[in-house]
Chains A and B, each alone.
Chain A
Amino acid sequence: DDKLLSEPLSHPDFFNVKELFSLKDLFDARVHLGHKKGCRHRFMEPYIFGCRLDQDIIDLDQTMQHLQLALNFTAHIAYRKGIILFISRKRQFCHLIESTARECGEYAHTRYWQGGLLTNAHIQFGPGVRLPDLLIFLNSLNNVFEPHVAIRDAAKMNIPTVGVVDTNCNPCLITYPIPGNDDSPTAMELYCKLFRMTIIRAKDKRRQSEVFSELR
């Protein structure tokens, strides 16, 4: 059992997440498109490649690195049977994200966030709740274009976060930010596909390793 858990940690890319996406896929899904120059957040400037006709272009090389780190992290969490919660406050993609979460066997929250969900969980849900071990933000802002409350709450509760940050978002409190577009349908479908594949892959690998260790 100990070997099961410590073995993936020794490899840099145990689940081989690099092969799931390529630069061309990201470009075709229009992940590099950001918002206009006026909407730019100060802390996103390192991730921005340039500006054309007032529209920011996100640096896809950095996006590749961040995406690889984030997918690797989610795969490890899924391998160790952690609870993953997908969060997005965009009404357009609410259905897509909920179906993705259902197919993975993980959880989603694309509705109005009640204040004490993470911080006041023992009273809201009951004693003995298990909080999520990873939050994945497919849309970092809420409907009023402010940073989602869950980012701050996760930081308070020591829960790691993975988030897609657009040019108008604040990447500060997110542990594994992924600079990229969060408004196009193609980009969202790509992210959902990638997360779904990593989680399913990690879970399958876990089941295989358990079967092997039982056989021995």
Chain B
Amino acid sequence: MGPFDFAAAAAAASSSSSSSGSAPKHPPDLDGLLAGAGYKVRSSELHHVAQRLERLETAMVNSASHIPHLASDAVHYNPSDLASWVDSMLSELPHSSSLPSGFPDPYPTALGCGWLDPCAPQPHQNVVVPQQQQQQLTVVAALEEDSGIRLVHALMTCAESVQRGDSSLARSLVEEMQALLARVNTSCGIGKVAGYFIDALSRRLLGLGSAPAWTYENEVLYHHFYEACPYLKFAHFTANQAILEAFDGHDCVHVIDFNLMHGLQWPALIQALALRAGGPPLLRLTGIGPPSPDGRDTLRQIGLRLKELARSVNVQFTFRGVVASRLEDVKPWMLPVSPKEAVAVNSIMQLHKLLGSDPNRDPPIGSVLPWIRSLNPKIMTVVEQEASHNQTGFLDRFTEALYYYSTLFDSLEAACPVQPDKALAEMYLQREICNIVCCEGTARLERHEPLDKWRARLGEAGFTPLNLGSNAFKQASMLLTLFSAEGYSVEENEGCLTLGWHSRPLIAASAWQAVPSVVNSPTGVINPNDNNNQL
């Protein structure tokens, strides 16, 4: 079971749907996709036809000597009527009778019956003929994979109809897909991911735009996601390495964390600062976080814990918490920085939330990046999902997301994390999926953009890239070898590091330096137009 080639499947689906856009509508009982290819097959007969095609193939393989006569002597039906054509072919071949007539049909036609697991012993297998068993197993596996591919095609078609505004077709497709789901193994692979996307689509069609009432707090899910797979650890360790190197030689340092959560990133930095040559600096940490729902002052608690840790390792540490539900609500005056200290701004998967477009306003990132610059940070570490989920077209976004999250779920699967980490990590991802598929406008926060776009955006805003360096790469590689799955790969991309699964990058870490634009001259006059690099 490997990741499905969604790019190809999606391309095929979208090209067939776009080409049939102007063609006459096909009768509803014919399978639309095969019809697009020129074959008329009833949807209800699809699996029978598939089964017989398999038999035909096996028979032709076994009776190679008889085939030439088929080409010259026999009369065949029009192959576009696939069902009757394959029947006639089968009746022509002598070996088709080798399959006993009492052959039980292991593929129930009624929808809603679960698929037989190809690896499980098949209950109605009375005749123990190894070749037959092998044929059955391959056909079951092929049909299950076939169902998976059909699911993907159905998802694409549904997304395309959503984009066109055809809600009734979309709804019927959702029902069809939910039925298909019953025939696919939903505990792993395509079945599981498809389940989440179908759920999200149905939410969208029902108009439940906003996320439903989640039982678990986001922080809890985040923590389990941290433990289940290496992405967040990679983000933290890589950012810390860059910050550590930037703080070299400074005695007063200040870190601003855009999303403190439980502060898991900072113990390692505190410890590294404690052990650095020349002794630890004075460390200030400003943690930004949303208000906690039950009124507890979580930020302060986290700050106290970090302070205790810092005290144990003899690092002078002060903490300040800034409560804000959205990053754009934070104003520069809430983050006082002293000119003597080296400032590091740390954003782990937060900047993409600022790309939301209200048609009347510019996206908030336009106001946030300048105030980050005004803090004059020595370094800004940015970690973002390496995906293009902010496209205007729904179908494109949907396709990208399907591919991305399938890869992500595959990697979770292979890393075999312990429960409940895995289940809760999946819930964490499910929220992202829901947000991408169901929400629009300002409600859609998960607007992931790939590294190239971030490079352009940050470059325009007056940031220059900093190379992450070989130490960060070595550390990341070492971190990966500690994980039990072999598919993770760290790659270097023009000074940035990406972590991916089987050569598909999934998360990208980069570091930036602000080009100072505001210079306080001794007379107190601020010259905002002075763009010279005066350091």
Q: Say whether A and B bind each other.
A: no
Name A's B-contacting residues (CB within 8 A). none
Name B's A-contacting residues (CB within 8 A). none
